[in-house]
Chains A and B, each alone.
Chain A
């Protein structure tokens, strides 16, 4: 059985690497990742860039380095030149016993505020050990928008994985080759698993590539895998059904599009709606997948929390399966 699953997977891979549409789908995660990086400040950039004088006292440099990138310059003139360059770097320069902030004027307000706060914290001698709520709030390294986008993209990638499965099944249907496979010792289950592997690999590797490119390198990959694999079940099932019930790619793509509704709905519910609305989205597997991913991405999810979410997603997928099992069986005949 494993041998046949592998053979079917390799065939799909070979065909997909030569096919324009599937090749395009395969590189989508990379494109998304790059777009996210362009439009949101990356994790490493959230700690802002500061320009200081070399002769500044070492204690201050060490302190600020915990929270920001520091560039050192010999003279005030050089700092000024550096600040005037296009990127967002802020100068902190000594004046009498205190420091003043040098900006170019077009830096985002948050960054300027952040620099001001850092300067003030230093002057007030607030240490990491004294961590109070304020510092934690600021120490949140990942901008929420970026986390939301990455999370959404992971779910989107799993749907694309399902779509890849759909494409490969439609290929078999158009060529009428399922009947030929049925006349080998390959069972229907083996065939379906073989057809699903590519979609699963794509979801997993696509998501991991996305995570790495967007800089979420410190999260627990095993936890992420748990959520990705469990939420892929649904995409795989729907991918298979779409493949078996549609005869052409465009129709199938149209039906897959319907999946974006619960996806976006779940995400908006979590991000925008108040507590009393949440229960209306409990039926939505994407709702739970988004929650699970969020815990993983912010590095705050415990295994038991994630397992509960995974369990809920699994049960919801089983319910979906019960509804579509008949179409799958029929489609294979």
Chain B
């Protein structure tokens, strides 16, 4: 569904790239996650794939169209929910969707039905300008599936939402995926990535560090993680160390030989811990 090769992007058109040599494939029917801290280049990549940013260097094929000369028809097949909600403040929720619907050439979904789906029933005649941030976000999200997209781009779909609403959004994404929609999802929330994605790419400073399924990653790193609690100069210190990485093995040996160990057990790693291990960076 998506094929990206050696993609680079620099906002200043110089050698200081915000996206560096990014390559990946998204298969039809999967949920592919782009996981990385904010500023990593996730939205930039997504905007190149949807044509919002002009492609500078590299190749990208999206839904069968080369991004370099994409046809406007392509947009009948794709949908995108924006990180920053963007709806007409002066139009009501329903007017927003009704207007957008008419811009497509393919059958579209009923506005009221969509508003219900994202929990905005009863709010259809309120101007979007009077909506809270979360409500606007949901309206933007609802709009992104109005043309029944085959390929669905979601930029931070649950960021800033209440847990219950986020859960609702997650179940909608799962349901759509079950119906066969391919999803490209961008997030800095590893729970979302863990829960939804068939495969994730770890991206930091514009570079992909690794691509794999959360399951594989846990198998690979999970049991090979040791949580050790020890006393150093009268203070209790807790550390998580890998039993595979050379550097961690050395420091584990060091701890065992030099300090008093309180507890020590192997542990199932969370995606976040794996991310930190692999990239040396947190997700914030």
A15 to chain B, nearest CB (A): 5
Q: Are A184 and B100 in contact (CB under 8 A)?
A: yes
Q: Are B78 and A183 in contact (CB under 8 A)?
A: yes
Grouping DSSP codes into helix (H, G, I), strand (E, B) and loop, the A interface class, with mixed when no group exceeds half, is helix
* Residue in B86, B102, B105 whose CB lies within 8 Å of A179: B86
Complex interface: stretch among A35-43, A134-142, A170-178: A170-178
Which of the four size classes fits the interface of chain A? 20 to 34
Q: Are B103 and A184 in contact (CB under 8 A)?
A: yes
Report if A81 contacts B (CB, 8 A).
no
C-beta contact mask, A203-247 vs B, less than 8 Å → 1, else 0?
000000000000000000000000000000000000000000000
Residues of chain B lying within 8 A (CB to CB) of residue A54:
none
Q: Are A15 and B86 in contact (CB under 8 A)?
A: no
Which of the four size classes fits the interface of chain B? 20 to 34
C-beta contact mask, B27-68 vs A, less than 8 Å → 1, else 0?
000000000000000000000001111100000000000000
Report if B88 contacts A (CB, 8 A).
yes
C-beta contact mask, A45-81 vs B, less than 8 Å → 1, else 0?
0000000000000000000000000000000000000
Complex interface: stretch among A3-11, A87-95, A306-314: A3-11
Q: Are A177 and B51 in contact (CB under 8 A)?
A: no
Instruction: Tell me, in angstroms, the Cα distance from A177 to B53 when the chains sit together.
Output: 15
Instruction: Tell me, in angstroms, the Cα distance from A185 to B78 when the chains sit together.
Output: 10
Residues of chain B lying within 8 A (CB to CB) of residue A31:
none
Within 8 A of B (CB), among A163-214: 171, 174-177, 179-187
Q: Are A179 and B82 in contact (CB under 8 A)?
A: yes
Report if B17 contacts A (CB, 8 A).
no
Knowing A4-B103, A15-B91, A187-B72, say if A182 contacts B86 (CB, 8 Å).
no
Residues of chain B lying within 8 A (CB to CB) of residue A182:
51-52
Q: Are B86 and A175 in contact (CB under 8 A)?
A: yes
* Residue in A7, A180, A185 whose CB lies within 8 Å of B143: A180
Report if A19 contacts B (CB, 8 A).
yes
Residues of chain A lying within 8 A (CB to CB) of residue B104:
184-185
Q: Are A185 and B72 in contact (CB under 8 A)?
A: yes
Knowing A182-B52, A185-B76, say if A7 contacts B86 (CB, 8 Å).
no
Instruction: Tell me, in angstroms, the Cα distance from A175 to B157 when the chains sit together.
Output: 19
Instruction: Tell me, in angstroms, the Cα distance from A14 to B98 when the chains sit together.
Output: 13
C-beta contact mask, A252-283 vs B, less than 8 Å → 1, else 0?
00000000000000000000000000000000
Report if A333 contacts B (CB, 8 A).
yes
Q: Are A171 and B73 in contact (CB under 8 A)?
A: no
* Residue in A11, A171, A175, A183 whose CB lies within 8 Å of B99: A11
Report if B130 contacts A (CB, 8 A).
no
Instruction: Tell me, in angstroms, the Cα distance from A212 to B86 when the chains sit together.
Output: 43
Q: Are B73 and A183 in contact (CB under 8 A)?
A: no
Report if B87 contacts A (CB, 8 A).
yes
Q: Are A186 and B72 in contact (CB under 8 A)?
A: yes
B200 to chain A, nearest CB (A): 24
Instruction: Tell me, in angstroms, the Cα distance from A177 to B97 when the chains sit together.
Output: 12
Residues of chain B lying within 8 A (CB to CB) of residue A185:
72-73, 75-76, 103-105
A329 to chain B, nearest CB (A): 11
Instruction: Tell me, in angstroms, the Cα distance from A207 to B123 when the chains sit together.
Output: 41
A187 to chain B, nearest CB (A): 6
Report if B80 contacts A (CB, 8 A).
yes
Instruction: Tell me, in angstroms, the Cα distance from A128 to B115 when the chains sit together.
Output: 75
Q: Are A3 and B102 in contact (CB under 8 A)?
A: yes
Report if A326 contacts B (CB, 8 A).
no
Residues of chain A lying within 8 A (CB to CB) of residue B52:
179, 182-183, 333
Report if A18 contacts B (CB, 8 A).
yes
* Residue in B79, B90, B95 whose CB lies within 8 Å of A19: B90
Instruction: Tell me, in angstroms, the Cα distance from A274 to B213 when the chains sit together.
Output: 82
- B: residues with CB less than 8 A from A are 50-54, 72-73, 75-76, 78-80, 82, 84, 86-91, 95, 99-100, 102-105, 143, 147
Top 3 nearest A-B pairs (CB, nearest first) are A176-B86, A184-B103, A185-B72
Interface CB pairs A-B, < 8 A, 16: A7-B102, A11-B99, A174-B89, A176-B82, A177-B88, A179-B52, A179-B86, A182-B52, A183-B52, A183-B75, A183-B78, A184-B75, A185-B103, A185-B104, A186-B72, A333-B52
- A: residues with CB less than 8 A from B are 3-4, 7, 11, 14-15, 18-19, 171, 174-177, 179-187, 333
Name 9 extra pairs, CB < 8 A, besides A180-B82, A183-B80, A185-B76: A3-B102, A176-B84, A180-B87, A180-B100, A183-B51, A183-B75, A183-B79, A184-B75, A333-B52
